[in-house]
Every structure is written in C-alpha cells, then in structure tokens.
C-alpha cells in the first residue's frame, strides 16, 4: 500500500525531520506538537534543512515550496490524526506523556 497522507505527532529533533522526509516523498503531512514554538517554527526548520541538502546536491529536482505546501501544521492532535493513513509519533521519551 502506498500512503498518500501521514501524521507526525511531536515536532522536535526527530519529528520535524520525519515530517520533512514524508513530504519530500510526496505525502501530505499533518503535523502536531503540544509546544506552540515547535509548531510555529516547523516550516522554517524544514526550509533550513532543505536548503542545506540542496547545497549538497541531495535534493536535485525537488521544489522546496512544493514540499512545504504538503506539511500542514495542526492546532490539535485530533486535527492532525483525521483522515491519516499513516501515523508516527516522535514525542519525548516520557511514559506519562506517551500515555496521554
């Protein structure tokens, strides 16, 4: 099965990179983090990563704005999970947080 939509819960060090790579692969990615700063900085962090990758010749033929347009920042976890075919979480390794 080829997924068209994905959700990434947790947008820290790993989560934003996962969202980035899923979007580069062509998926529409719904992204959520409880931390407002993580949500608000997501597109800038992805843009920064991709510019470095482009400078190294790793993203030839990949349009930055096209990739960013596939990353949807959601205000709630429920919004991020709606209609998703694939879900991954990258939240802090804290059992209490993961059980919420």
Q: What is the spatial distance between Cα 35 and Cα 54, in angstroms, rounded to a whole number?
A: 28
Q: Does pTM top 0.85 for this prediction?
A: yes
The predicted-structure confidence for 45-71, as pLDDT tens digits, reads as follows: 999 999 999 999 999 889 999 999 999
Q: Where on the phi/psi map is residue 3: left (φ > 0), alpha (ψ -120 to 50), or beta?
A: beta
Beta bridge partners of 72: 30
Domain boundaries, the chain: 5-99
pLDDT tens track for 10-40: 999 899 999 999 999 999 999 999 999 999 9
Q: Which CATH superfamily is domain 5-99 in?
A: NAD(P)-binding Rossmann-like Domain (3.40.50.720)
The answer to whether residue 96 scores a pLDDT higher than 70 is: no
């Amino acid at each position: 099965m080829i997924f068209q939509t994905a959700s990434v819960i947790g947008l820290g060090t790993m989560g934003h990179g996962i969202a980035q790579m899923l979007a580069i692969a062509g998926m529409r990615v719904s992204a959520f983090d409880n931390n407002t700063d993580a949500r608000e900085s997501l597109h800038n962090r992805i843009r920064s990563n991709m510019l470095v990758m482009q400078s190294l010749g790793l993203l030839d033929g990949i349009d930055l704005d096209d990739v960013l347009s596939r990353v949807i920042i959601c205000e709630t976890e429920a919004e991020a999970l709606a209609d998703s075919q694939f879900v991954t979480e990258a939240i802090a390794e804290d059992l209490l947080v993961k059980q919420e």
